[in-house]
Amino acid sequence: MITLKKIYSVIFFTVFFLHGFAQQQVHVKYLHVRSPIATLYEDLYIKGDHVISIQDSIININTSGTLSAIRKSNKPFTKNYFISKNKNSDKVKDFFFTADIRDTEYFIHDNVAIPNWKIDKAQTKKILGYSCLKATAKFRGTNVTAYFTKELPYSAGPYKFYGLPGVILDIREDNNNYNIWKAEKVELNIDTKINFNPQFNNYPKINMKEFIEIKEGIQKKEMSDILAKMPEGTKMESGKPKYRPGLEKVFEWEIEK
């Protein structure tokens, strides 16, 4: 028989447990397989409601399947930041991230809707000693499969992924050998000083739609310049493709209501 005393004990233990997690800083290091030949690292830091993911810009190029070399560049290395903040909605979260287009760094605001996750409690695996459950969803036109652990009770993950009742330790695009994030290390109670709210005051501030329009406008102009140098009469297909080749293939403002 469950007594009132036992109920209070469970409530007290749960609150104490969650309070303890809220006070500590969690670090998850992911290997991000960006393309069939390129990998880099991404570090996720969590402290209470504060979440930031820092993506290394040093890309390892796998040239032969066995050798790895760091891509050479004439510009200094910079890191990309993905900062998530709670929005006044349980269905959308504010993300702020940095990205560059032709040597111009931007600070972009993106409204990211929570994916419609389907959790399969029958599919489990151990990752770095944590018991994980399988979840699937469609993220901006891409089918993804994630494994998350309730033993780290934060709704967070790498890049712009969130919305599960635990930290995502592995997530990847289905039927693909890249667009993969897999945790290689989890650290608890770290004392690394992290700025969870960097401002990037020197960066132009734009929203996600403006960022995509700038990037694809430059790409379109470059294609036009190439076409202009080709023999007269050469034709190239134009128009926006239904899906983009990257992870984010279609955005919310492009979906017909």
DSSP string, 80-124: EEEEEEE-SSSSEEEEEEEEEETTEEEEEEEEEEPP--EEEEEEE
Domain count for the chain: 1
Within the chain, strands assigned E span 26-33, 38-47, 50-55, 60-62, 68-70, 80-86, 92-101, 104-113, 118-127, 130-139, 142-149, 167-173, 180-187, 205-207
Which among 36, 27, 83, 85 has a CA at the least distance from the CA of 61?
A: 36
CB count in 10 Å sphere of residue 172: 17
Which position has the higher pLDDT, 73 or 79?
79
Give domain status of residue 184, yes or no: yes
List all residues 6 or more positions away from 42 whose beta carbon is below 8 Å from its beta carbon.
29, 30, 32, 53, 54, 55, 56, 158, 159, 181
Tokens found for residue 222:
């470059």
**Residue owning tokens 């969803």:** 137
β-bridge mates for residue 93, sequence order: 86, 112
Q: 104-113 and 205-207: which strand pairing?
A: parallel
Give domain status of residue 17, yes or no: no
pLDDT tier at 91 (50, 70, 90 boundaries)?
confident
pLDDT of residue 67: 41
CA distance 36 to 84: 28
Give domain status of residue 15, yes or no: no
Four-point Cα dihedral 180, 181, 184, 186, nearest 10: -160
pLDDT tier at 72 (50, 70, 90 boundaries)?
very low
pLDDT of residue 16: 40
Which among 30, 29, 61, 17 has a CA at the least distance from the CA of 152?
A: 17
| Strand, coil or helix: 38 | strand
Give domain status of residue 36, yes or no: yes
**Mean of the pLDDT values across residues 20-41?**
86
Q: Which of 4-18, 79-93, 141-155, 226-240 bottoms out in mean pLDDT, i.e. has the lowest? A: 4-18
Give domain status of residue 7, yes or no: no
Residue 52 burial (C-beta neighbours within 10 Å; 0-12, 13-18, 19+): buried
Q: Which residues span the domain enclosing 102?
A: 24-257
**Mean of the pLDDT values across residues 183-205?**
92
Give domain status of residue 187, yes or no: yes
Give domain status of residue 139, yes or no: yes
Give domain status of residue 167, yes or no: yes
For residue range 166-175, list pLDDT tens digits in order: 999 999 999 9
pLDDT tier at 232 (50, 70, 90 boundaries)?
low
CB count in 10 Å sphere of residue 74: 5
